[in-house]
Amino acid sequence: MTLITALPDLDQLQIRGRGNAASAFAVSDLACLSIGAVGLELAALLQRLGAKPAPVTVDRPLANHWFKYSFRPSGWELPNPWDDIAGIYQSKDGWIRLHTNLPHHKQAALLVLGCAASKAAVSAAVATWDADRLEAEIHAAGGVAATLRSSAEWLNHPQGHALAQEPLIAWQNPRKITLRTRPEATPVQPLKGLRVLDLTRVLAGPVASRTLAGLGAEVLRIDPPGWDEPGVLQDIALGKRMATLDLKSIAGRDRLAELMEHADVVVHGYRPGALDGLGFDLQTRDTHAANRIEVTLNAYGWSGPWAQRRGFDSLVQLSTGIAEAGQRWAKTDTPHPLPYQALDHATGFLMAAAVLSALNTAAKGLPVANAHLSLARTALSLQQLPVNSDQAPLAAPDDADFSTTLEQSAWGPGHRLKSPLFVGETSLQWARPARQSGSDAPKWQPELR
For residue 170, what is the domain's CATH number?
3.40.50.10540
DSSP reduced 3-state for 110: helix
Q: Is residue 323 part of a domain?
A: no
Phi, psi of 447 (to 5 degrees): -60, 140
pLDDT score of 448: 67
Structural domain including 358 reads 10-78+162-301+339-427
- Per-position b or e across 224-245, b if 16+ CB within 10 A of its CB: eeebebebbbbbbbbbbbbbbb
Residues in a beta bridge with 422: 57, 427
Residue 416 domain-assigned (yes or no): yes
Does residue 96 sit within a domain?
no
Tell me if 55 is assigned to some domain. yes
Phi, psi of 370 (to 5 degrees): -90, 135
In a domain, 169, yes or no: yes
In a domain, 220, yes or no: yes
Nearest-angstrom CA–CA distance, 74 and 55: 35
Mean pLDDT within 172-185: 95
pLDDT, position 298: 97
**Res 1 pLDDT > 80:** no
Question: What band does 210 get if pLDDT is binned at 50, 70 and 90?
Answer: very high
| SS3 (DSSP) at 192 | coil
Q: Quick check: is 63 in a domain?
A: yes
Asked if pLDDT for residue 449 goes beyond 60, the answer is no
* pLDDT mean over 132-159: 98
pLDDT given at position 237: 98
Average pLDDT estimate for 104-128 = 98
Residue 192 belongs to a domain: yes
pTM score of the predicted model: 0.97
Q: Report pLDDT for 273.
A: 83
Contact (CB, 8 A) for 101 and 83: yes
The more confidently predicted of residues 449 and 36 is 36
pLDDT tens-digit map of 280-329: 999 999 998 999 999 999 999 999 999 999 999 999 999 999 999 999 99
Position 272 scores a pLDDT of: 82
User: Got the DSSP string for 356-403?
Assistant: HHHHHHHHTT--EEEEEEEHHHHHHHHHHSPP---SPBPPPP-GGGB-
* Average pLDDT of the segment spanning 216-243: 97
Number of domains in the chain: 1
Whole-angstrom Cα distance, residue 152 to residue 160? 9
C-alpha separations of 128 from 123, 135, 141, 291, 355 in Å: 9, 13, 18, 53, 47
* pLDDT (tens digit per residue) in 406-445: 999 999 999 999 999 999 999 999 999 999 999 999 999 8
